[in-house]
Amino acid sequence: MPELPEVEVVRRGLHHHLVGKTIVSTSVRHDRAVRRQPGGAPELTGLLAGQQISGTGRRGKYLWLTLEGPTGAQALVVHLGMSGQMLIGPISRPQHLRIAATLDDGSVLSFVDQRTFGGWMATDVVTVDGSELPEPVAHIARDPLDERFDMAAVVTRLRGKHTEIKRALLDQTLVSGVGNIYADEALWQARVHGRRLSDGMSRAKLTEVLDSAAGVMRLALEQGGTSFDDLYVNVNGESGYFERSLEAYGREGEPCRRCGRAMRREAFMNRSSYFCPSCQRLVEPR
Ligand SMILES: [Zn+2]
């Protein structure tokens, strides 16, 4: 599943290639890829016809193109799901093509998605807290890389939640864009066990966790993103990612890079958490 840095890499590629172009026509090859559109394929293709792509946007792991034109649709939200790709030009897996949009310069923007958890949705834009967001994204909190991310306010909200800190980090309405991998990395860096309760943590420690999350995502972004899924490629269809050395995620049994103790894995929300039992102690609430 793509995390924030991968989505941001895709957004930048789309921005570079698409802004200023107009969608001439759209062809839906699989209804599942338009299941979020209330009126299905006819509604999506109708709303996109003649719309100019005026920009791109991202919040957390949510990605969209901004639109202007005769139909009034203001955004095309792109859900990448588990394996979605936005490709411009020839595609190597035509059997997994779900949606294709022909642009006014003759090029084709393809949505390829083997598992079809992702899809497109044309929608209106609403203004929330000074930012324009597509309606389906309106409830998503700012991510730690957002220049208007309000650290103090987010820390206050976390202090008001009687919930495990890792669960809170993954709650996209509190802070967005932090997925399972980067949550583990941030918690390792801040030396916090993911099952610590957020209302039992100090403001300084919560700030350190969020700063760490921003730091690991910024680093991944500089390195081109992290992905363990070779289906996930960038906007030109080439693999844009290389593995980076993760400090916690996926390192069960390997020595902690800080203290040498064997890293542990435990089940968490149908996934896994990786942590150092020495650096990240679980302090039970009193
Ligand atoms: Zn350690």
250 C-alpha to ligand 1 centroid (Å): 15
| Token pair 């203001």: residue | 74
Residues 6+ apart with CB under 8 A from 153: none
pLDDT of res. 224: 66
Query: Using CA atoms, how far apart are residues 5 and 158, in angstroms rounded to an integer?
Result: 23
91 C-alpha to ligand 1 centroid (Å): 45
Q: Which domains does the chain have, with CATH numbers?
A: 4-137 (3.20.190.10), 151-275 (1.10.8.50)
Q: What percent of the chain has pLDDT over 90?
A: 73
| Per-residue tokens: 12 | 């930048």
Closest CA to 249 of 218, 268, 273: 273
Q: Which residues are annotated as a binding site for DNA?
A: 96, 115, 161
260 C-alpha to ligand 1 centroid (Å): 6
Query: Using CA atoms, how far apart are residues 217 and 201, in angstroms rounded to an integer?
Result: 23
Q: What average pLDDT does range 148-165 have in this prediction?
A: 96
For residue 228, pLDDT over 70 is answered with no
Its pTM surpasses 0.85: yes
Active-site annotation, residues: 2-3, 61, 271
H helix runs in 101-224, sequence order: 151-159, 165-170, 180-190, 203-222
pLDDT of res. 242: 41
Q: What is the pLDDT of residues 25-83, one digit of tens each?
A: 999 999 999 999 999 999 999 999 999 999 999 999 899 999 999 999 999 999 988 88
Q: What average pLDDT does range 102-128 have in this prediction?
A: 95
pLDDT of res. 232: 46
Place 243 in a pLDDT band, splitting at 50, 70 and 90. Answer: low
For all residues of the chain together, what is the average pLDDT?
90
Closest CA to 142 of 166, 169, 172: 172
278 C-alpha to ligand 1 centroid (Å): 5
181 C-alpha to ligand 1 centroid (Å): 17
